[in-house]
Amino acid sequence: MLNTYTYPEFAYVQSPEQAAGTVKRHPVVIIGAGPIGMTQALDLAARGVASIILDDNNTVSIGSRAVCYAKRPLEIWDRMGLGEGYAARGIQWKVGKVFFRNDLAYQFDLLPEAHHKMPAMINLQQYYLEEELVKACDANPLVDLRWKHKLLGLEQTSGTEDDLATLTVETPDGIFQLQADWVIAADGANSDTRRMVGADFTGHFFQDRFLIADVVITKTEFPTERWFWFDPPFHRNQSVLLHKECDNVWRIDFQLGWDADPVEEKKPENVIPRIQAMLGPDVEFELEWVSVYQFACRRVDNLRCGRVLFTGDAAHQVSPFGARGANTGVQDCDNLGWKLALILKGDAPLALLDSYHEERAFAADDNLLNSTRSTDFITPKSRASLRLRNAVLELARTEPFARPLVNSGRLSTPTPYVHSSLNTPDETPFNGSMKPGTNCADAPIQKNGPNGPESAWLLNQLGNGFTLLSFGPGALPMSVGNVTAQVLEVGKDILDTQGILTQRYDAQPGTVYLIRPDQHVAARWRAFDATAAQAALQRALALH
C-alpha cells in the first residue's frame, strides 16, 4: 500500500514519580491522547490547570478516521492557537452530489454564512490534527503527555469532601500508582476507564459496520466535491460516501450492514474492484489504508461517576453520518474545562459539575437523535420505509421540495443548552438565535492596534473568563467571590464597523450579554442592572 504519511513515534520517558517509587497526587489525569484528551489538556492549561495525559500507544491516529471538523471545534482550537493552521491546511468543499442507483439525483452548493473567522467545516486526516495537538501539548509546561502508559486499574474513594482516584499504570519500566483529584476518560468508544468504573453504556438504537478506505488518486484530476450514493450499482442496497482529504487522498466509506464479514470485505481483491467501479475505469488509484469500523448508538447514563468524568466517544457513540463524533467530543472539553478549573481553585461548588452532565448529555441525545434520523433514511428498516425513501430520491431529481427530505447525514452543529440550569431566562424579548445557552456567533470587528484600528474577530476578544459584552457604555465589572466578569464594550474596546455583530446579537444601545468562559450566552438584558448581573453570574456558577 502507498504511504503519503509517515507515522511519528513519540519517545517513552519514565516519569520521576515512577523512578522515585513515590505515589504523587495530581489535580487532573486524562486517559487517552486522542483529539479529545489533548484538547482537554490544552483547554485546562489555558485556565491555569496542570494535567497529565496517559496514552497506551506512542503515535497518532492510524488512518484518516475522524475526517470532518466543523466550525465550533475549529473555534475552540482557535483559542489554543491551532484553528488558523487547521483551517489553512484542511480541504473545504462547496458542491455536494447525491446519486441514486445509476444516476445523479441532484447537486447542491453549501453556501456557508459569510463573516465567520472559521469555515463551516474542513476535511483533514485525523493524524494531521493530532500531530499539531501533540506539538502544542509538548510546548505547554502545564501539559505532561506520557506515552506508553497503560491504565490497568482505577479505584476511587467516595463520600468525603476530599475524594480521589488511585490509578494503576503500566509502562515499559513496570507498574506504578498515581492519584488524581479528577480523572477525565477520553479513551474512546472502547474505553477501559468506563469498564473499570462499571458505568452503564446503554442505547443500542442500531448498529452497523463500515468499510473505510483512504485512496490516493495518482494521475487523474478529480473534483473537490462530496459524493453520496444511495443503492449504487457497485454496492447494491447500501450507501457510499466519497470525501476529499489533503495530499490527493480520498476517503471512501462503504456501508456494509451488520451481517457482512469484515475480514472478507477488507481483502484488497474485494475492495479494489468496487472502488474502480465507483471512480470510473479511467481513474488510477492506490489504496493507502483500509479498516472496518463498527458502531452502536449509545451513551453513558451519567457523564460523571464520582471523580471520573467521561468525554468524547468514551461518553457517547454515534453513527458517522454528520461527523458528530470528534466534533461533539471537542465541545465536551469546552464545557468541562472551565467548570473543573473553577472547582479546583475553590471558586465554584461541586454542583457546577452537575451541569456538565446536564448540558452535554442533552447535546449527546440531540446528536443521537440526528444520527438516528440519518440512519433511518440511509438504511430503511422496512419495505414501506424503503419505498418512501426511494420515492423521496426519485422526486428529488425534478422537485426541489423533496430535496430537504434527503438525509445523507446532517453536518454537526452545536446543540444550544436551552434548558440549562445555568441560564438566566430572558425578561424582555430578543430576536435572532443568541438565546441563553447558545454558543456565541463570531463576527468581524475592529479593535485598536499599535497603528490604529485593525480587523479582528469577536471570539478572539472574549478571553478565558466571564465577559459582559456591552453595546455602548453602562456595564460595570461584576464579581462573585474570586470570579470576575470583565466588560468588553462595543464602541470603545471593539468597534462594530460592519454592523454584523449588532445584527447577530439583536443588539440595541445598552444591550448587555453575560458570556461564559466557554463562549456561551448565560444571560442578556436590554439595559445593565448590577443586581441582575450579579444574580446571573451566581447562577452560571451553580451558586443558587
Partner 1 sequence: MPTPSQLIRTPNIPGPDGFYEELIAAQRDLSDQQADMMLAKLVLILANHVGDRAVLSEALALARQNTLDTPA
Q: Rank residues 214 and 231 by Cβ distance to partner 1 and give the closer one.
A: 231
Q: Rank residues 301 and 399 by Cβ distance to partner 1 and give the closer one.
A: 399
Q: C-beta of 437: minimal distance to partner 1 in Å? A: 24
Buried b (16+ CB within 10 A) or exposed e, 129-158: bbbbbbebbeebebbbbbbbbebeebebee
Furthest-apart CA atoms within the chain: distance in Å: 73
Helix ranges (DSSP H) in 345-484: 351-378, 383-396
Q: C-beta of 391: minimal distance to partner 1 in Å? A: 4
Q: C-beta of 390: minimal distance to partner 1 in Å? A: 7
Please answer whether residues 127 and 4 qualify as being in contact, where contact means their C-beta atoms are separated by less than 8 angstroms. Answer: no
Q: C-beta of 364: minimal distance to partner 1 in Å? A: 25
Q: Rank residues 84 and 399 by Cβ distance to partner 1 and give the closer one.
A: 399
Determine how many CB atoms are found less than 10 A away from the CB of residue 92. Answer: 14
Report helix, strand and coil shares of the chain as percent, to nearest 5. Answer: 30, 30, 40
Q: C-beta of 399: minimal distance to partner 1 in Å? A: 8
Q: C-beta of 110: minimal distance to partner 1 in Å? A: 23
Q: Rank residues 131 and 394 by Cβ distance to partner 1 and give the closer one.
A: 394
Q: C-beta of 322: minimal distance to partner 1 in Å? A: 22
Residue 43: how many CA atoms within 13 Å on its side-chain side? 30
Determine how many CB atoms are found less than 10 A away from the CB of residue 119. Answer: 17
Q: Which of 46, 61, 235 lies closest to 142 in space, CA to CA?
A: 46
Binding residues for partner 1, rule: CB under 8 A, are 387-388, 390-392, 394-395, 399, 401-402, 405
Q: Rank residues 405 and 495 by Cβ distance to partner 1 and give the closer one.
A: 405
Q: C-beta of 402: minimal distance to partner 1 in Å? A: 6
Q: Rank residues 431 and 451 by Cβ distance to partner 1 and give the closer one.
A: 431
Q: Rank residues 387 and 492 by Cβ distance to partner 1 and give the closer one.
A: 387
CA dihedral (278, 279, 281, 287) in degrees, to 10, reads -100
Determine how many CB atoms are found less than 10 A away from the CB of residue 266. Answer: 16
Please answer whether residues 215 and 285 qualify as being in contact, where contact means their C-beta atoms are separated by less than 8 angstroms. Answer: yes
Q: Rank residues 7 and 108 by Cβ distance to partner 1 and give the closer one.
A: 108
Q: Rank residues 100 and 210 by Cβ distance to partner 1 and give the closer one.
A: 100
Phi, psi of 351 (to 5 degrees): -60, -25
Which residues make Cβ contacts (< 8 Å) with residue 14, sequence separation at least 6? Answer: 171, 173
Q: C-beta of 102: minimal distance to partner 1 in Å? A: 17
SS3 of residue 108 by DSSP: strand
Q: Rank residues 50 and 395 by Cβ distance to partner 1 and give the closer one.
A: 395
* Strand pairing category for 51-54 and 143-146: parallel
Strands (E), 91-200: 95-100, 103-109, 121-123, 143-146, 150-156, 165-171, 174-185
Q: C-beta of 387: minimal distance to partner 1 in Å? A: 5
H or E stretch at 335: helix 325-344
| Distance separating alpha carbons of residues 179 and 197, to the nearest angstrom | 15
